């Protein structure tokens, strides 16, 4: 180990190292409504601070690196230790805590360090007071957020023997007796022998104060896999500084089975659609690593399982689509069951299964099987095609179960129409019988809905038991039953993609996204993830909202109150992306004034997962926040309010409520919450609306709620159940940044007057001589003002003398491309002209400040709606808030 001169780490917290002009402009993306910002007008002309924050952060961290031995290395740095007055807690100067105590912080930047967003960065220890905050105590966690300089530690973590919290920088260490005291439960733990060299100048990385997040590379249980010697001590190995530089010894690539993919193809699709789909599947399969396993299941009124290991001719096993078979039965029929009796087992062994094979073994037969898929629909006139989607899913899961891949498995369903037969059917085969609507679902009169949901609940349990993922690619102009299928998709962490056609770019990009790999011989696919929370005694877990499932591991940090996936301190999800965000809701325990809880509380997020390279990993993020106590408590709470995170939490809570309540009730719930919220935090003279002011950190929150009320998440009757399922699924997994775009889309204006500027999401922003770039996350709309559209029609932009116009037209195109890149699900790019039919995508989300009832000036800039405008909404809100 290289000895490096120790120097004091920067005393100041990381995010504070750069103040810069953007501090306080985190709302740059969201121009405040004129009525709430003194002076009115559009504040700031900035893009989201997020991109810049990432840039700054990385440059900052470079300063901490010490060059040695030709590579970047962390080494031991002496740490300042604060002993608190009660002597119970060891508190390093962590960036998180430091940041949390500083006002005017950028929450997005903190997120880049921790992967966490806290609507409240300071919590009140009083349960009654917490209830008055309206927005619950919660954290939006992106468990696998890519972090710069994430230490990857090639040894097993030390866990507290009592509360199982992993050793972290907040633990108090007694070097002489080789003990550490858990920050959560205060119990003493001794260091094992491998930590013998520990000293205040020689700390393992997990105790390093800047490393509130570390990742452990766990020894593999599977002896076939590459594994690290379990005896290795932290000191005997050089620390790897980041995951990218970590060189895992190449696993015996082909001998170890990789992840398994079962492609489930609907053969009732139209001819061209099927062709496009086939090409796309062949494309992605050709890109798969050689050890990946593939299977092919096709379905119409029956389920076809294609044998890829049979050379003599194409061989397919068929299952009836209208019956529900148990997994064991399916396996028995496929001849792939793991029988207990040795006699049967031997006969099974003779019969080699060929339904799931490594790509390297079946490339030819797979492509033959794909090419031989022919459109097959026995639909009669006046009837829908008979699709046994449910049976196909169940069969595919059984296929994976029989094979039990240990590197994750995905069932990828490609369908272009309604499930009309067997388990999971959502509509009858006669076209004269309509598809269920949201109204029917809400009023419990959708005849197949409940049954299908129950079926898919069972599927979800099977997927979770074995860590398999279900993806749905529904490429259809009509519905397919995604609303019913959403549950297993969301619980397993799969993708739910709704687009019009298999020929669309959106579909192709989403599909290819799953199989993305960046120069490695493995897929960037994470599987079998399990998130566990450890909290300070006073913090109780209510539940999680997001793509995960409760594991029902109840302990004393679990609250009686359940919100979302609750009643547990650990959750399972079969796959995670680096963007997947899960909201955890908490409450504080019963606060006894005589037991002082300490100045801070801790939450540890432990995410165990299987990396794409086959290694088992555990990421541990330990976060600390202050208890807001004493005289300054209310100001601490106010300054620690993150309105973006709060809006996200409220949106997730609202969509969660939509499942069980009538949308009308959810809207009134949102309104009630908002009124209580503004009444609590507003600054006003009672009964005088004109005096109403909100603190700056709160000013955008009512506006977010306004747009949320009007959004596709709440206004579900304008959408089909499938679309709502898709929107909800997306919202539930998206991080704060993405969620906010969904709640309140962004709108940029491109004009000859200067660089593009963000403008109000208002009908007033529509103008004939500008181009608008609208982003609602699902749709990216380039809206040409009528004049520009006319010029373009006349071909002026191709005229060299009108270079300006060409540039103006190009600019939003380029920026739209930038918005689309990397976003999953890929948004639909719509180009439309003012007054064109496609402009509805934009108009529907604009604030109707000018309607047919009230408008001034240009009659073409009017939205025909009965909805209340933002201004009216806020006025009403103020009036209600000041009533007390």
Partner 1 sequence: MGNSPLAGSQTSTPSKIDPNQIPRPMPGSSIIIFETRQGNQANIPPPSSSDFIVKDTGNCSPRLMRCTLNQVPCTGDLLETSCMPLALMVQPLSLPHPSEEPIHVVDLGESGPLRCSRCKGYINPFMRFVDQGRRFICNLCGYTDETPRDYFCNLGPDGRRRDADERPELCRGTVEFVATKEYMVRDPMPAAFFFLVDVSMNSIQTGATAAACSAIGQAIADLPEGPRTMVGIATFDSAIHFYNLKRALQQPMMLIVPDIQDVYTPLHTDIIVPVAECRQHLEQLLESIPTMFEENKVADSAFGAAIKAAFLALKPTGGKLLVFQSVLPSAGLGSLSLREAEGRTNISAGEKEAHKLLQPADNTLKTMAIEFAEYQVCVDVFITTQTFIDLSSISVVPRTTGGQVYYYYPFSALSDTAKLYNDLRWNISRPQGFEAVMRVRCSQGIQVQEYSGNFCKRIPTDIDLPGIDCDKTIMVTFKHDDKFQEGLECAFQCALLYTTVYGQRRIRVSNLSLPCTSVLSNLFRSADLDTQFACFLKQAASGIPTRSLSQVREQIMNLCISILHCYRKFCATVSSAGQLILPEALKLLPLYTLALTKGIGLRNDGRLDDRAYWVSHAGALSVPLAVPMVYPRMIPIHDLNLKEEDGSVLLSTLPLSSEHLNDEGIYLLENGEDCLIYVGNMVNPDVLQQIFGYTSVNGVSTQFVLEQFNNDLSKKLNNVINEIRRQRSSYLRMRLCRKGDPSGMLFLSNMVEDKNPGGLSYVEFLVHVHRQIQAKMA
CA distance 507 to 675: 42
| 552 contact partners, CB below 8 Å, separation of at least 6 | 567, 568
For position 351 contacting partner 1 by CB under 8 A, the verdict is yes
Is residue 409 within 8 Å of residue 401, measured between CB atoms?
Answer: no
| Residue 122 or 373 having the CB closest to partner 1 | 373
Smallest gap from Cβ 364 to partner 1, in A, equals 13
Nearest residue (CB) to partner 1, 195 versus 366: 366
User: Which residue from 19, 323, 434, 817 is in contact with partner 1, where contact means CB under 8 A?
Assistant: 323
Query: Closest separation between CB of residue 116 and partner 1, Å?
Result: 50
d(CA 399, CA 323): 17
- Residue in 42, 237, 316, 551 binding partner 1, rule: CB under 8 A: 316
880 binds partner 1 (CB under 8 A): no
DSSP string for residues in 394-427: HHHHHHHHHH--SS-EEEEEEE-S---SSTT--S
- Mapped onto helix, strand or coil, the DSSP state of residue 692 is strand
Cβ distance 304 to 317 under 8 Å? yes
Q: Shortest approach of partner 1 to residue 314 CB, angstroms?
A: 4
Q: In the set 132, 177, 222, 314, which binds partner 1 (CB under 8 A)?
A: 314
**Taking contact as CB under 8 A, which single stretch among the options 243-251, 332-340, 486-494, 747-755 is the one that binds partner 1?**
332-340
Nearest approach, Cβ of residue 207 and partner 1 (Å): 58
Q: CB 351 → partner 1: shortest distance, Å?
A: 7
Stretch that binds partner 1, among 318-326, 525-533, 541-549, 693-701 (CB under 8 A): 318-326
First to last CA, the chain: 65
| Nearest distance, CB of residue 313 and partner 1, angstroms | 5
Q: Minimum Å distance from CB 649 to partner 1?
A: 49
Q: Quickly list DSSP for 543-562.
A: EEESS-EE-----TTB-SS-
Using alpha carbons only, what angle is made at residue 337 by residues 336 and 338, rounded to the nearest 5 degrees? 120
- What separation in angstroms does the CA of 46 have from each of 26, 28, 54, 759? 9, 5, 15, 11
**Does the footprint of partner 1 cover residue 24 (CB under 8 A)?**
no
> Nearest approach, Cβ of 302 to partner 1 (angstroms)?
6
**Looking at 30, 319, 473, 681, which residue binds partner 1 (CB under 8 A)?**
319
Site for partner 1 in 289-308 (CB under 8 A): 302, 304, 307
**347 is a contact residue toward partner 1 (CB under 8 A):** yes
Q: Rounded to whole angstroms, what are the CA distances from 400 to 258, 356, 427?
A: 13, 8, 28
- Give the residue, chosen from 333, 431, 806, 829, that forms a contact with partner 1 under the rule CB under 8 A: 333
Task: Say how many residues touch partner 1, by CB under 8 A.
Answer: 25
Strand partners for 534: 604
**320 in contact with partner 1 (CB under 8 A):** yes
By beta-carbon proximity to partner 1, the closer residue of 354 and 493 is 354
**List of E strands, 714-791:** 746-751, 754-758, 771-775, 779-784
Q: Is 591 helix (H, G, I), strand (E, B) or coil?
A: coil
Q: List, as one string, the DSSP characters of 462-491.
A: HHHHHTEEEEEEEE-SS--SHHHHHHHHHH
Which is nearer to partner 1, 295 or 488 (by Cβ)?
Answer: 295
CB 489 within 8 A of CB 478: no
**Window of 345-353, 418-426, 428-436, 763-771 that interacts with partner 1 by CB under 8 A:** 345-353
Of 320 and 802, CB closest to partner 1: 320
Does position 317 interact with partner 1 (CB under 8 A)? The reply is: yes
Distance of alpha carbon 693 from its chain centroid, rounded? 34
- Tokens for 379, please give them: 């639909």
Q: Which residues within the stretch 74-133 sit at the binding site for partner 1 (CB under 8 A)?
A: none
Q: How far is the CB of 358 from partner 1 (least distance, A)?
A: 22
- 74 is written with which tokens? 């962390």
Q: C-beta of 778: minimal distance to partner 1 in Å?
A: 39
Contact 108, 636 (CB under 8 A): no
With respect to partner 1, which residue has the nearer C-beta, 372 or 560? 372
Check residue 313 for interaction with partner 1 (CB under 8 A).
yes
342 is a contact residue toward partner 1 (CB under 8 A): no
Distances (CA, A) of 770 to 665, 711, 794, 832, 843: 40, 25, 17, 13, 15
Cβ-based neighbour number of residue 454 at 10 Å:
14
What is d(CA 256, CA 615) in angstroms, rounded to the nearest whole number? 12
Judged by CB under 8 A, the residue of 312, 340, 341, 660 near partner 1 is 312
773 exposure class (CB count in 10 Å sphere: 0-12, 13-18, 19+): buried
Whether 334 contacts 355, CB under 8 Å: yes
Over the window 366 to 385, marking each residue x when it contacts partner 1 by CB under 8 A and - when it does not, the resulting string is ------x-x-x-x-------
- DSSP bridge pairs for 783: 772, 832
Q: Which is nearer to partner 1, 112 or 325 (CB)?
A: 325
Q: Give the binding range for partner 1 (CB under 8 A) out of 69-77, 312-320, 577-585, 791-799.
A: 312-320
Which residues contact residue 866 at a Cβ distance below 8 angstroms, ignoring those fewer than 6 apart? 851
Q: Which is nearer to partner 1, 106 or 307 (CB)?
A: 307
Give the shortest CB-332-to-partner 1 separation in angstroms: 8
Sort residue 95 into left (φ over 0), alpha (ψ -120 to 50) or beta. alpha
344 binds partner 1 (CB under 8 A): no
Q: How far is the CB of 758 from partner 1 (least distance, A)?
A: 57
Interaction between residue 262 and partner 1 (CB under 8 A): no
The stretch near partner 1 (CB under 8 A) out of 245-253, 344-352, 396-404, 549-557 is 344-352
Residue 327 or 732: the one with the smaller Cβ distance to partner 1 is 327
d(CA 7, CA 810): 51
- Please tell me whether residue 873 binds partner 1 under the rule CB under 8 A: no
Give least dist CB 376 to partner 1, A: 8
Which residue, 151 or 321, has its beta carbon nearer to partner 1? 321
Q: Which of residues 49-78 bind partner 1 (CB under 8 A)?
A: none
Binding partner 1 by CB under 8 A: which of 65, 188, 315, 554?
315
Residue number with CB closer to partner 1 (28 or 335): 335
Residue 821 in contact with partner 1, rule: CB under 8 A? no
- Cβ(387)–Cβ(379) below 8 Å: no
The answer to whether residue 334 forms part of the interface with partner 1 (CB under 8 A) is yes
> From the CB of 316, what's the least distance to partner 1, in Å?
5
- Pick from 469, 472, 487, 563: nearest CA to 525: 469
How far apart are CB 279 and partner 1 at their closest, in Å? 19
Measured from the CB atom, the residue of 22 and 319 that comes closer to partner 1 is 319
Least distance between partner 1 and beta carbon 423 (Å): 15
335 forms part of the interface with partner 1 (CB under 8 A) = yes
Q: Which residue has the tokens 């004939």?
A: 768
685 binds partner 1 (CB under 8 A): no
Instruction: DSSP letter for 14, please.
Output: G
Q: Which is nearer to partner 1, 148 or 333 (CB)?
A: 333
The tokens for 423 are 């388990």
Q: How many other C-beta atoms are found inside a 10 Å radius of the C-beta of residue 872?
A: 14
Residues in contact with partner 1 by CB under 8 A are 302, 304, 307, 310, 312-320, 323, 325, 333-335, 347, 350-351, 372, 374, 376, 378
């Amino acid at each position: 180990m290289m000895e490096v001169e120790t120097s004091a780490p920067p005393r100041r917290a990381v995010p504070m190292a750069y103040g810069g002009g953007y501090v306080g402009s985190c709302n740059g993306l969201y121009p405040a409504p004129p009525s709430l910002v003194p002076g009115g007008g559009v504040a700031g002309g900035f893009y989201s601070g997020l991109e810049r924050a990432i840039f700054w952060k990385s440059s900052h961290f470079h300063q901490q690196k010490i060059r040695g031995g030709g590579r970047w290395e962390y080494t031991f740095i002496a740490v300042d230790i604060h002993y608190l007055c009660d002597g119970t807690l060891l508190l390093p100067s962590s960036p998180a805590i430091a940041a949390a105590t500083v006002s005017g912080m950028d929450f997005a930047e903190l997120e880049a360090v921790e992967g966490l967003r806290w609507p409240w960065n300071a919590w009140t220890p009083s349960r009654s007071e917490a209830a008055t905050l309206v927005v619950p105590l919660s954290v939006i966690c992106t468990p696998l957020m890519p972090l710069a300089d994430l230490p990857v530690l090639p040894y097993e973590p030390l866990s507290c023997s009592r509360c199982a919290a992993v050793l972290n920088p907040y633990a108090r260490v007694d070097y002489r007796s080789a003990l550490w005291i858990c920050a959560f439960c205060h119990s003493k733990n001794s260091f094992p022998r491998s930590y013998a060299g520990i000293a205040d100048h020689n700390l393992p990385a997990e105790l390093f104060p800047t490393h509130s997040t570390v990742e452990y590379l766990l020894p593999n249980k599977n002896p076939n896999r590459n594994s690290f010697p379990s005896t290795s001590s932290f000191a005997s190995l050089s620390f790897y500084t980041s995951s990218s530089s970590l060189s895992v010894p190449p696993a015996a690539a082909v001998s170890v089975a990789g992840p398994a993919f079962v492609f489930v193809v609907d053969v009732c699709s139209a001819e061209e659609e099927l062709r496009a789909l086939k090409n796309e599947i062949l494309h992605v399969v050709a890109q798969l690593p050689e050890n990946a396993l593939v299977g092919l299941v096709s379905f119409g009124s029956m389920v076809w399982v294609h044998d890829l290991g049979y050379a003599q001719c194409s061989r397919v096993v068929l299952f009836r689509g209208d019956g529900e078979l148990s997994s064991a039965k399916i396996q028995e029929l496929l001849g792939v069951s793991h029988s207990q009796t040795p006699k049967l087992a031997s006969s099974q062994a003779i019969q080699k299964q060929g339904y799931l094979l490594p790509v390297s073994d079946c490339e030819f037969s797979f492509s033959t099987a794909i090419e031989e898929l022919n459109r097959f629909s026995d639909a009669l006139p006046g009837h829908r095609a008979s699709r046994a989607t449910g049976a196909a899913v169940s069969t595919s899961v059984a296929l994976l179960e029989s094979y039990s891949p240990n590197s994750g498995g995905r069932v990828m369903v490609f369908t272009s129409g309604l499930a009309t037969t067997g388990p999971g059917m959502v509509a009858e085969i006669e076209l004269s019988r309509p598809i269920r609507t949201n109204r029917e679902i809400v009023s419990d009169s959708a005849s197949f809905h409940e049954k299908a949901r129950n079926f898919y609940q069972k599927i979800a349990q099977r997927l979770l038991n074995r860590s398999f993922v279900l993806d749905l690619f529904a490429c259809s102009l009509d519905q397919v039953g995604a609303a019913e299928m959403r549950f297993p998709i969301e619980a397993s962490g799969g993708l739910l993609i709704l687009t019009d056609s298999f020929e669309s770019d959106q579909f192709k990009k989403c599909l290819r996204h799953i199989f993305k790999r960046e120069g490695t011989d493995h897929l960037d696919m994470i599987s079998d993830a399990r998130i566990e929370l450890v909290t300070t005694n006073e913090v109780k877990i209510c539940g999680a909202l997001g793509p995960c499932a409760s594991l029902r591991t109840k302990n004393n940090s679990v609250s009686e109150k359940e919100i979302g996936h609750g009643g547990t301190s650990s959750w399972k999800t079969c796959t995670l992306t680096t963007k997947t965000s899960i909201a955890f809701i908490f409450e504080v325990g019963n606060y006894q004034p005589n037991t002082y809880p300490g100045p801070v509380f801790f939450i540890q997020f432990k995410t165990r997962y299987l990396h794409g390279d086959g290694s088992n990993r555990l990421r541990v993020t330990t976060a600390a926040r202050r208890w807001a106590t004493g005289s300054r408590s209310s100001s601490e709470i106010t300054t620690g309010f993150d309105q973006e995170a709060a809006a996200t939490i409220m949106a997730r809570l609202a969509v969660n409520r939509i499942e069980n309540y009538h949308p009308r009730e959810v809207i009134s719930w949102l309104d009630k919450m908002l009124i209580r919220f503004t009444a609590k935090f507003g600054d006003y003279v009672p009964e005088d609306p004109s005096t109403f002011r909100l603190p700056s950190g709160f000013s955008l929150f009512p506006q977010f709620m306004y747009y949320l009320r009007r959004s596709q998440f709440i206004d579900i009757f304008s959408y089909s159940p499938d679309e709502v399922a898709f929107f909800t699924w997306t919202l539930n997994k998206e991080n704060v940044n993405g969620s906010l775009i969904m709640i309140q889309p962004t709108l940029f204006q491109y004009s000859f007057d200067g660089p593009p500027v963000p403008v109000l999401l208002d009908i007033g922003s529509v103008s004939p001589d500008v181009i608008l770039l609208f982003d609602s996350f699902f749709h990216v709309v380039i809206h040409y003002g009528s004049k520009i559209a006319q010029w373009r029609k006349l071909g002026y932009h191709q005229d060299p003398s009108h270079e300006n116009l060409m540039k103006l037209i190009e600019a939003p195109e380029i920026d739209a491309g930038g918005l689309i890149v990397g976003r999953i699900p890929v948004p639909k790019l719509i180009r439309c002209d003012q007054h064109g039919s496609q402009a509805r995508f934009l108009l529907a989300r604009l604030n109707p400040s000018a309607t047919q009832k009230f408008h001034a000036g240009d009659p073409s800039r009017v939205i025909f709606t009965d909805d209340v405008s933002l201004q009216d909404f806020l006025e009403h809100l103020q009036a209600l808030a000041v009533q007390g």
